[in-house]
A and B are shown apart, each in its own frame.
Chain A
Amino acid sequence: MPGASVRVEYQEELANLEASALGGLDLVATALGRTLEAIEHQDVELAQIVVADDDRIDGRYLEVHQSLITLLATQSPVATDLRLISALLHVLKNIERMGDQCVNICKMIPLSGNEPPADEEMVRLILSMGKHARALIGQAQRAFAERSVEMAQDLVRQDDVVDDLNRECFRLALEIGDDADRREWAMTMLLAARAIERIGDNGVDIGEQVAFVVTGLFREFEDASHPSP
């Protein structure tokens, strides 16, 4: 049957699973947005919603993961399909980790008190980090969906911005002063900044998977253990 398309159902199933996995990034973007709002307003209730809602991200992970395993077992995917499934398994893990980082931050919010001795500059930095990380998540999602290696590589530049802000937070924390409450607050905020920094790294990892799907070659965009001179 020349020209006829075969295995249409399998192709549809794979496309649906990709959409479902990448849709997990929408859930993460929402969680991060709420997390930032909760930090800004010390909104303990909103933070609790983020913690409870992480079940949806975990559920998405488990559901798509199981379906991908079934596709591997039953459809013997090869070539691009195989790379895509391998990449999606990675990306699912990244998404699940990003969700967990939001939870980590939100669990700290009650600890930092309802009227914390906040340093406005540090809050501003962290919110800025969060906004950049959120944009990075959106860009990682688009890069994957469009199979754009160029857009994926640009995630490194976005992540550098997040990293710089993180270092800036650290510098501020060092100079926060002698007040014990303020120092405790600053330490907690550093952990939050660290969590957002990790979200950025997970976004870059998704970009690396885009390059793997497109080129078949895996290489780290940034090698933290062997930084370029």
Chain B
Amino acid sequence: MTEMGAAPTTSTEPVTRSVARGAKTIEARGVNLFYGDFQAVEDVTVTIAPNKVTALIGSSGCGKTTFLRSLNRMHELTVGASVKGEITLDGEDIYGAGVDPVQVRRLIGMVFQQPNPFPTMSIYDNVASGLNLNAGRMSKSDKDAVVERSLRGAHLWEEVKDRLDKPGNGLSGGQQQRLCIARAIAVEPEVLLMDEPCSALDPVATLAIEDLIGELKSKYTIAIVTHNMQQAARASDITAFFNLEETGKPGRLVEIGPTEKIFTQPSEQATEDYVSGRFG
């Protein structure tokens, strides 16, 4: 726990910590996101609480994925994209001068819609890939320990422990997504962002991932974008509804609150219409 207060730019910290650091709070204040001249997201101010699952819902084009990608500085990877406003991780500005975006992405991991294991790499190397990038040299036994812990954490260990040297793309879709989650948690991030992590999976694999998300929140701050409203209802503690007034206008945060409130008694009519399936 000694690196608790370490600045995000520190790159020499050990990755084999036996105790995970605490989940951290993300705060966005007045965030505006652009692709060139086009404004995709307008004036979002929101707190993403630690040890909770926050679901971002809203119709296509409402800016929820764009907003999610701004939370670990992936938005700026798109050519012409820009960010205005402030995003902090436990008070530290992740867009501050001198902050290394690669380090931000290590602290704030991302799991994508399509499971994307490195196809030619073994299951073992897929999980260890983040360690290689982040840690430089690590002993084999330390690496073994991290790989096992991460696969166990992603509920995949029992299914793959006898074939760690086989390629990751030999797994089923649900297993591949859990492999990607194992890869994301191997570097012990503080926040996990998930962009429609179940949309390519069958219902049983989806429920398995949702259960896993429910367990991971004890260690991490989790934000998940989903088009599946019932998934937001089932798997999240807090739900944020994004909407846009009309095509071409930027997306805005309409309402955020406890999931049970959003799905039983939302404050805004637009939220009620969306979660009832009346439009969007």
Contact = CB atoms under 8 A, between A and B. Distances in A.
Interface string B236-280: 000000000000000000000001100110000000000000000
Given A1-B159, A74-B260, A6 B211 contact: yes
B208 A74 contact: no
A69 interface: yes
A76 interface: yes
Contacts of B208: 1, 4, 6
A221 to B, nearest CB: 33
Interface in A68-122: 69-70, 73-76
Secondary structure dominating the interface of A: helix
A75 B260 CA distance: 10
Interface of B: 155, 159, 174, 204-205, 207-208, 210-211, 214, 230, 233-234, 259-260, 263-264
A74 B211 contact: no
A1 B264 contact: no
A73 B263 contact: yes
A226 interface: no
B211 A70 contact: no
A7 interface: yes
Contacts of B207: 6-7
A73 B233 contact: yes
Interface of A: 1, 4, 6-10, 69-70, 73-76
Nearest to A4: B208
B241 to A, nearest CB: 15
B257 to A, nearest CB: 13
B158 to A, nearest CB: 9
Contacts, number: 39
B214 to A, nearest CB: 6
Contact of A73 (B155, B174, B260): B260
A160 B211 CA distance: 49
Per CB-CB distance, the 10 closest pairs between chain A and chain B, nearest first, are A74-B233, A73-B263, A6-B207, A70-B260, A73-B264, A76-B230, A1-B208, A6-B211, A74-B263, A6-B208
A76 B174 CA distance: 22
Given A1-B159, A75-B233, A9 B264 contact: no
Contacts of B155: 1, 4
Contact of B234 (A8, A69, A75): A75
Nearest to B230: A76
Contact of B174 (A1, A9, A69, A74): A1
Contacts of B210: 6-7
Nearest to A9: B214
A7 B204 CA distance: 10
A74 B231 CA distance: 8
30 contacts: A1-B159, A1-B174, A1-B204, A1-B205, A1-B208, A6-B204, A6-B208, A6-B210, A6-B211, A7-B207, A7-B211, A7-B234, A8-B211, A9-B211, A9-B214, A10-B234, A69-B264, A70-B264, A73-B233, A73-B263, A73-B264, A74-B234, A74-B259, A74-B260, A74-B263, A75-B233, A75-B234, A76-B230, A76-B233, A76-B234
